[in-house]
Amino acid sequence: MSPGAYIAVFAVACLAGAGLTALVLRLVTRLQVMDVPNQRSSHAIPTPRGGGLAIDLVLLVTSVLLAWRYSDSRFLWLAGIIAGLSWLGWRDDRKSLPVRSRLAAQLILAVLVVAVFGRIAALDTGSFAIPLSWLSWPFSVLFVLWMINLYNFMDGIDGIAGIEALTAGLTLALWFHWSGAYAWSVVSLVIAGAAAGFLFYNWQPARIFLGDTGSVTLGGVFATISLAGIDQAGFPLSAVVLLFGVFIADATVTLSKRWLRGENLAQAHRSHFYQIAVARGLQHRQVSLTVLGLNMVLASLATLVCSGIQPIWLWEVIGLLVLGGAMLAVSRMAGSDD
């Protein structure tokens, strides 16, 4: 595909994302699908949620069109997975589902993703790979489940989830283009464009939230795209982890700390690093722009890893140092409360 075609795809996705978000805003307002703030919330007034439905619809239509254009049934499976994740998130936005029911549904969809789009066969750093053998299947399913839920965990302030989708989508589009997987490049670019359109309504002060409708779907779709890239295009696992480094590090470290403290992991809280930063006086836009800066650095390092530019281990170490430094800085902001 030509640069002009990619620009057109991004522009159309952006306009579609913005236009559909405006329509969804009217819908959820009429249905009273509201996020009412409590003591653990990062917002102060009731705000409509479920805006991710706009992004989901853009992705759903894109998947069907790609299935027709390339005569590839995998994109019909992708459309079905998007529909399933979107429905699950919408149900949760309308009326909170029990944790067990939600996880059971996510598990079914995760198994389907791995069955259709491929597995993580090895812990590949770009320099060396450790085969997973029979652990490949469960590891891949857990990867999808974790991506679904960490994206949900990290969607807690204005703009942060949209920023993540924008930067990750653009980067993956570049990687797939280099590998010749143009259809997957289009899917990634559409995510970025639709997220950019949604950000017009989600930037501080947000007029609408992504909701589980969007966060669950984005997490699941990014997991699907990542598996396709790892299994079919040879992306190193370490490059994918670096690309989503901010979300993966924050969610994983926070969950681990809460587990070690014996806290209820299903209970809402405000102990994520981005939440601590807001609690210490930073505005939502400041934190989200900081995440954008970190994402740009990590995406550059991940691209060096994915391209096989030596020394690969150095880019990975720098990425870990960047993430560690950012978390240390936030921990110092928290002081004795951490």
Q: 277-304 in b/e burial notation, b at 16+ Cβ within 10 A?
A: bbeeebebeebbebbbebbebbbebbbb
Q: CA-CA distance, 245 to 297, in Å (whole number)?
A: 10
Short-list 39, 20, 329, CA closest to 200: 20
Domain ranges of the chain: 3-337
Report pTM: 0.95
Give whole-number Cα distances, 211 to 2, 68, 214, 221, 308, in Å: 35, 30, 6, 15, 37
pLDDT tens for each residue of the chain, 338 residues long? 888 899 999 999 999 999 999 999 999 999 999 988 766 666 668 899 999 999 999 999 999 999 999 999 999 999 999 999 999 999 999 988 888 999 999 999 999 999 999 999 999 999 999 999 999 999 999 999 999 999 999 998 999 999 999 999 999 999 999 999 999 999 999 999 999 999 999 999 999 999 999 999 999 999 999 999 999 999 999 999 999 999 999 999 999 998 888 887 777 778 899 999 998 989 999 999 999 999 999 999 999 999 999 999 999 999 999 999 999 999 888 664 44
Q: CA-CA distance, 135 to 34, in Å (whole number)?
A: 41
Residue 133 region by backbone torsions, left for phi larger than 0, else alpha for psi between -120 and 50, else beta: left
Query: What pLDDT score was predicted for residue 333?
Result: 83
